[in-house]
Amino acid sequence: MEAVVNGIKMHYLDVGNPDDLPIVLLHGMTLNHRMWNPQIKVLKENYRVITYDIRGHGKTEVTDGQYTYRMFVEDLIALLDYLQIDKAVLCGLSMGGAIAMRAFELYSERIHALILCDTRSEADSNETKYWRENSITLIKQGGLKQFTHEFMEALFPVETMENQPETVEFIRNTILSSSPRGICGVLLAQAARTDLTYSIQKINIPTLIMIGEKDNFTPLASSKTMNKKIPNSELKIISGAGHVSNLENREEFNQHLLEFLKKLPKIR
């Protein structure tokens, strides 16, 4: 499906019963809505599931490549408005989780609950900013091939690379099919994002935090900090998974996801 929201043509998916609790799935950097296929399959039976390609990704318009996190949030809210959804559960992985946290900071009244996966509230360290700068240079000089190779090694532990070739190949092909301008724009937005460690202390809605046991891209310490600072939040560690925990151990991920959703109160 396509809609023009916030001035761009956005590709999105809206499945399940429109009268059920709406859940918005926000993908990670360089990926697209298809990374959520294992979750869409189980969620659509009892929930309204919305997912979309974030600006610069997939089939959504790339525009000029000058992105900010506020822009990502405004896109999300514009899509909710277009779909006439007043309030939704936000489930985001990595960049998607950071967008969800920023959305709460700006539009808390639109969010019923948060599911934050393999993400962190801190802004980039200098070391990470240097990596993003170098990645932009790499992409501009040689396209996405070398960047993808190096990025994949950071995303996945050795066990996933060896034992889940289909998952690894799916992610590799997704990144390689991305727009170089879009990925450079996202890298810039990531480097410039604000530190949300203070604002997450104001989160007063049900919150589930999940992280892969072997996620080397987002340190477990960051998830523990979020768990400590977000009142009454839950922390679940997904065994054997790296940074893309929803694909690497989908059974355990889905179990925690469904258990959390079943406990949520109805939207008033």
Residue 80: closest CA among 33, 12, 29, 28:
12
pLDDT digits (tens, 9 = 90+) for 155-173: 999 999 999 999 999 999 9
State which fold the 2-263 domain adopts.
Rossmann fold (3.40.50)
Q: Which helix (H) or strand (E) holds 122?
A: none
Spatial contact of 111 and 103, defined as CB atoms under 8 Å apart: yes
Q: Which helix (H) or strand (E) holds 244?
A: none
Spatial contact of 121 and 222, defined as CB atoms under 8 Å apart: yes
The mean pLDDT value for 104-123 works out to 98
> Which of the four pLDDT bands, split at 50, 70 and 90, describes residue 42?
very high
Domain residue spans in the chain? 2-263
Q: Report DSSP state, residue 224.
A: H
The overall pTM is greater than 0.95: yes
The mean pLDDT value for 173-202 works out to 96
> Which of the four pLDDT bands, split at 50, 70 and 90, describes residue 182?
very high
pLDDT digits (tens, 9 = 90+) for 200-246: 999 999 999 999 999 999 989 999 999 999 999 999 999 999 999 99
pLDDT over 90 (residue 82)? yes
